Structure 1
């Protein structure tokens, strides 16, 4: 009888810890790993970072220059269930590792902004951006121009010549912003 009582106590403790871990990972803070070199020199391949998720959970708009973790599958809508099944703890049990869908990028444009690339330079609303964080000057490509729609952001990697970002995948819906990088 005493064994069952102790086992029940342990199971209750483990259950509470599991639920608390899910809550923290979905709404407060979650670790991510940088995959690739698109954020060089600011962040490096395989570097661990932590994303603050409270802003995402409340639907707040990230600031210009914030480093954000995004769900790159912009052609589908996200819901709360996605946050649950993509939690690292749940992934351990399901064996479903979807890290490659999460990109780490920098916010360049917010809703209503006009983003232009001319002669390898980035302009927001007609003003050239001063970007001391980029790895190197962008290779000159044909001029491009975008207007960021409502409830979306425009993101780019710091290694502009080696980054799959809004220039390729399109605008990022706000519900695809998984969190804002807070700690290294």
Structure 2
């Protein structure tokens, strides 16, 4: 009889360990874990695309073999603006590698390259913010190009070593080709990692 009472009391003691407070705590931990995973997935979907810089066309801003993180959400709400560094597939060709270039002209503007200078809306664009070499090749921008809605003219920062909107096989970049905005770079290179500007 004594042994039965002893076991009976042990069983009740173990049963009392699972209290409503403990259940609430377990539920709380579970909820916050699921919530954290959900937020992490959203961030990866928005900012987690990573592309690698190929070549020296964006030096000294970006260097060959650096990795660039892409904000894939911003251009769903706002159009690219001048000086944004964008990531795109030329002509939407999914078999191509991603190109990374700087927007120099936006819809409604005219673009031309004259005497190695970028001319937008009839005015030579000054190099106050960035030091760019004069362009040896004007390509298709030898003649004035008028940008329609959703069209952008892009150039590499290393202008004489860049395949960009001057090239007939790339031309103007349509918004539908743009994967997103380059916002952070890292990796082995001559340059340091950090925010892309």
The answer for unaligned runs of 5 or more in structure 1 is 1-12, 77-81, 83-97
Q: What 5-or-longer segments of structure 2 have no aligned partner?
A: 1-32, 186-197
Given that 1:33 and 1:47 are in contact with CA atoms closer than 8 Å, whether structure 2 keeps it comes out as yes
Contact 1:41 1:135 in 2 (8 A): no
Cα distance in 1 for residues equivalent to 2:173 and 2:163: 12
Equivalent-residue separation in structure 2 for 1:145 and 1:157 (angstroms):
19
Q: Which string of whole-angstrom CA distances, capped at 9 and with x for unpartnered residues, describes residues 9-48 of structure 1?
A: xxxx9xx96x877654443342221111111121110111
Say yes or no: does 1:160 pair with 2:159: yes
User: 1:116 Cα shift?
Assistant: 1.0
Task: Report the counterpart of residue 66 of structure 1 in structure 2.
Answer: 84
Match of 2:28 in 1: none
Alpha-carbon distance in 2 for matches of 1:141, 1:57: 31
Aligned match for 2:125, one of 122, 129, 137: 129
Q: Which residue does the alignment assign to 1:183?
A: 184
Instruction: Output the CA distance in 2 between the equivalents of 1:23 and 1:114.
Output: 38
CA–CA separation in structure 2 for the residues paired with 1:25 and 1:176: 21
Deviations 1:110-129 (A, max 9, x none): 11110010000001111211
Contact 1:41/1:133 (CA < 8 Å) preserved in 2? no
Secondary structure at the counterpart of residue 51 of structure 1: strand
Where 1:101 maps in the other structure, the secondary structure is coil
Q: Which of residues 105, 111, 115 in structure 1 aligns to 2:107?
A: 111
TM-score by length of 1: 0.68
- Distance in structure 2 (CA, Å) of the matches to 1:69 and 1:61: 13
Q: Output the CA distance in 1 between the equivalents of 2:132 and 2:84.
A: 17
Q: Secondary structure at the match of 2:144?
A: strand
Name which one, 1 or 2, has greater alpha-carbon Rg. 2
Bigger RCO of structures 1 and 2 (CA < 8 A, at least 6 apart): 1
CA distance in 1, matches of 2:57, 2:131: 10
CA 1:26–1:71: 2 relative to 1, 3 Å:
farther
The count of aligned residue pairs is 147
CA shift in 2, pair 1:130/1:103, >3 Å:
same
TM-score (norm 2): 0.64
Q: 1:167 to 1:141 in 2, by over 3 A?
A: closer
